[in-house]
């Protein structure tokens, strides 16, 4: 049954939104519907007073005073969509009597706002903070925060840009490196809210800065909380709100890839509240989420559940492009599902399928006699394999051919279970692994393998990539033999691009590794660690900490050297034709 959208002569955007969601005209997820059902009950609760004054004052302020500052909407009035107006109403219209304060105050003090990227969450909360600055009480202090200073600055700059776009707002305020303040030195006012006597401020801090400037604030807004590992940067802000009669604390975010982080715990509590298992009456939980992953691939209309601005703020063409890319790239799939659809992803997700890894094509080393190669090594003294590798290519082809060899200390074999030891000793017998005496790998064997390829087959190494770990003396030895080396750090910036290119090449059967059993094993054991910048790194699959991935890592090291020196290397490949 639909409710009357007019209450005492005032139109309710929240009720209109609820009615259109209930009728199916607007598609939302189950979790948001749970919250809307809670809000519906408030209208019939005798202990809750419904007052539209504060909400509509702020909606009017945003639509008449705030303007967009980024393309493609730069300079245009900030006209709120229905879901945004409903969200603002949900925060402000419900009042309860507080015995301690002695008057009616706002019911909701904490707001969790989860919505997919590019749906205007930062501009919306920024506009609400600016509206609160002007429409709220005198002396109101507002704090913008995030996990890093750059992200916190995005919200602050959004607030300030809207202020600057409005001549009426700019002439009664000022900005400096510390923040935004009331009072304009060019047109000073002696008294009133817009004078220097109003000590209200808008500032920014990050998790790294701490919350020293956050004491006695009235509004706190924390952006992208999915990046936070714990609540160390959030709790000081929440505590700084404790002196206020009507504090307002915003947490706005998309889903993320940080396991067991702050957002995971926060959403766990939020869902307990929505399910009636936990009581948090002052917490507004507004989650734009999908009901399951399957509907994303099967029904475009379901995308509205996590993307309420789709078709107005966010483009359909962008979403369709992301979906197509996600079908062909595991790293893109993780990022798209978490960022565009709020489906939680493990940040150590499996990287390849068995079909990606399988390649039965083989080649004879004689095919590459007197050719140029790129080398790669992953060195370890004790725990893991040492892996050495040569990347070779043929003129006019983008296939990558790999020669490889592995090294392990003799003592390590004695620590393996019977089945593992049998397998490793068979690989030693086959000449796939070289043993070092004692407990440590002898890196001279690694150098000897590269020298052997040169002396016996004339394979000349353009560059040999290495990780800095345990490599100081080995690098000197290699350079004494005339090899040119290149350091490849195993970090996000260095490993992400080669790992992605290797994935694409594996999927398209452009990686030929002679069906090497240890290479195949290393690829099967490799997962990808994803960060918030959509960068990836190799990591061992969860629960397989004792398994080896060194062979996959050396492929990526070779790819890093190849990417950095592609033009020069391919020119050398042509000369050997």
Give a yes or no: residue 256 inside a domain.
yes
Q: For residues 228 and 263, give the distance between their C-alpha atoms in angstroms, rounded to a whole number.
A: 7
**pTM of the entire structure?**
0.77
CB-based contacts of 424: which residues, under 8 Å, 6+ apart? 408, 413, 416, 433
Mean pLDDT calculated for residue range 469-498: 91
Give the CA radius of gyration of the chain: 30
Mean pLDDT calculated for residue range 415-428: 89
Which one is predicted more confidently, 226 or 16? Answer: 16
Q: How does pLDDT run across 293-305, given as a tens digit for each residue?
A: 999 999 999 999 9
With cut-offs at 50, 70 and 90, classify the pLDDT of residue 107: very high
Give a yes or no: residue 45 inside a domain.
yes
Query: Do 457 and 490 lie in a common domain?
Result: yes
Q: Is 91 exposed, middle or buried (0-12, 13-18, 19+ CB in 10 A)?
A: buried
Query: Do 270 and 380 lie in a common domain?
Result: no
Query: Residue 46: how many CB atoms within 10 A of its CB?
Result: 5
Q: For residues 263 and 418, give the distance between their C-alpha atoms in angstroms, rounded to a whole number.
A: 44
| pLDDT above 50: residue 214 | no
Query: Do 409 and 268 lie in a common domain?
Result: no
| pLDDT above 50: residue 160 | yes
Report the pLDDT value the prediction gives residue 211, as an integer from 0 to 100: 46
Q: For residues 531 and 124, give the distance between their C-alpha atoms in angstroms, rounded to a whole number.
A: 25
Report the pLDDT value the prediction gives residue 265, as an integer from 0 to 100: 92
Number of residues in the chain:
577
With cut-offs at 50, 70 and 90, classify the pLDDT of residue 208: low
Q: For residues 92 and 57, give the distance between their C-alpha atoms in angstroms, rounded to a whole number.
A: 10
With cut-offs at 50, 70 and 90, classify the pLDDT of residue 209: low
With cut-offs at 50, 70 and 90, classify the pLDDT of residue 472: confident
Enclosing domain of residue 184: 6-339
Mean pLDDT calculated for residue range 444-466: 97
Give a yes or no: residue 274 inside a domain.
yes
Is the Cβ–Cβ distance between 237 and 145 less than 8 Å?
Answer: yes
Mean pLDDT calculated for residue range 231-254: 88
Mean pLDDT calculated for residue range 444-456: 97
Distances (CA, A) of 115 to 22, 32, 133, 302, 345: 20, 11, 24, 14, 15
Mean pLDDT calculated for residue range 136-149: 86
Report the number of distinct structural domains present in the chain: 2
DSSP code of residue 368 = G
| pLDDT above 80: residue 426 | yes
Query: Do 51 and 118 lie in a common domain?
Result: yes
Is the Cβ–Cβ distance between 91 and 284 less than 8 Å?
Answer: yes
Sign of CA dihedral 434, 440, 445, 450: positive
Residue (of 391, 394, 398, 359) closest to 507 by Cα position: 359
Report the pLDDT value the prediction gives residue 188, as an integer from 0 to 100: 78
Q: Is 301 exposed, middle or buried (0-12, 13-18, 19+ CB in 10 A)?
A: exposed
With cut-offs at 50, 70 and 90, classify the pLDDT of residue 392: very high
Report the pLDDT value the prediction gives residue 57, as an integer from 0 to 100: 97
Q: Is 107 exposed, middle or buried (0-12, 13-18, 19+ CB in 10 A)?
A: buried
Distances (CA, A) of 251 to 151, 152, 178, 505: 13, 12, 23, 41
Final residue of a structural domain among 285, 315, 339: 339
Q: For residues 18 and 26, give the distance between their C-alpha atoms in angstroms, rounded to a whole number.
A: 9
Final residue of a structural domain among 339, 369, 398: 339
């Amino acid at each position: 049954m639909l409710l009357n959208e007019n209450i005492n002569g005032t139109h309710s955007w929240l009720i209109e939104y609820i009615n259109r969601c209930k009728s199916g005209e607007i598609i939302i997820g189950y979790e948001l519907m749970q919250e809307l059902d809670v809000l519906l009950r408030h209208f019939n609760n005798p202990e809750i007073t419904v007052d539209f004054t504060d909400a509509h004052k702020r909606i009017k302020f945003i639509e008449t005073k705030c303007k967009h500052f980024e393309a493609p909407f730069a300079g245009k009035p900030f006209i709120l969509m229905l879901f945004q107006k409903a969200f603002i109403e949900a925060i402000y219209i419900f009042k309860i009597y507080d015995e301690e304060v002695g008057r009616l105050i706002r019911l909701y003090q904490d707001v969790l706002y989860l919505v997919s990227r590019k749906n205007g969450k930062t501009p919306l909360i920024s506009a609400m903070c600016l509206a609160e600055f002007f429409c709220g009480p005198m002396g109101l202090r507002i704090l913008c925060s995030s996990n890093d200073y750059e992200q916190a600055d995005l919200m602050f700059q959004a607030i300030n840009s809207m202020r600057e776009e409005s001549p009426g707002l700019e002439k009664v305020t000022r900005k400096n490196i510390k923040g935004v303040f009331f009072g304009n030195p060019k047109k000073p006012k002696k008294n009133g809210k817009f004078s220097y006597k109003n000590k209200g401020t808008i500032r920014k801090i990050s998790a790294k800065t701490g919350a020293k400037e956050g004491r006695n604030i009235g509004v706190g807004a924390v952006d992208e909380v999915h990046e936070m590992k714990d609540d160390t940067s959030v709790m000081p802000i929440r505590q700084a709100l404790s002196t206020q009669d009507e504090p307002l604390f915003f947490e706005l975010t998309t889903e993320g890839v940080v396991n067991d982080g702050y957002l995971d715990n926060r959403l766990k509590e939020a869902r307990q509240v929505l399910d009636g298992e936990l009581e948090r009456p002052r917490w507004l939980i507004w989650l734009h989420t999908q009901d399951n992953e399957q509907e994303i691939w099967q029904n475009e209309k379901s995308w509205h559940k996590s993307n309420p601005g789709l078709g107005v703020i966010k483009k359909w063409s962008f979403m369709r492009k992301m979906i197509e890319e996600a079908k062909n790239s595991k790293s893109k799939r993780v990022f798209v599902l978490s960022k565009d659809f709020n489906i939680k992803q493990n940040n150590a997700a499996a990287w390849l399928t068995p079909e990606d890894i399988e390649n039965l094509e083989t080649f004879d080393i004689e095919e590459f006699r007197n050719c140029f190669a790129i080398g790669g090594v992953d060195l370890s003294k004790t725990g893991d394999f040492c892996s050495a590798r040569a990347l070779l290519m043929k003129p006019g082809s983008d296939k990558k051919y790999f020669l490889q060899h592995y090294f392990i200390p003799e003592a390590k074999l004695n620590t393996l279970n019977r089945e593992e030891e049998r397998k490793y000793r068979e690989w030693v017998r086959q000449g796939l692994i070289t043993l070092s005496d004692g407990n440590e790998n002898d890196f001279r064997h690694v150098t000897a393998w590269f020298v052997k390829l040169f002396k016996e087959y004339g394979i000349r190494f353009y560059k040999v990539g290495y990780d800095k770990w345990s490599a100081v003396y080995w690098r000197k030895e290699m350079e004494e033999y005339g090899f040119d080396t290149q350091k490849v750090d195993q970090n996000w910036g260095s490993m992400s691009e080669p790992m992605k290119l290797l994935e694409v090449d594996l999927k398209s059967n452009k990686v030929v590794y002679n069906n090497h059993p240890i290479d195949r094993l290393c690829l099967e054991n490799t997962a990808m660690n994803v960060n918030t910048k959509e960068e990836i790194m190799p990591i061992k699959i969860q629960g397989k900490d004792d398994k080896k991935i060194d062979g996959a890592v050396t492929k990526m090291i070779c790819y890093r050297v190849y990417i950095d020196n592609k033009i020069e290397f391919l020119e050398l490949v042509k000369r050997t034709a």
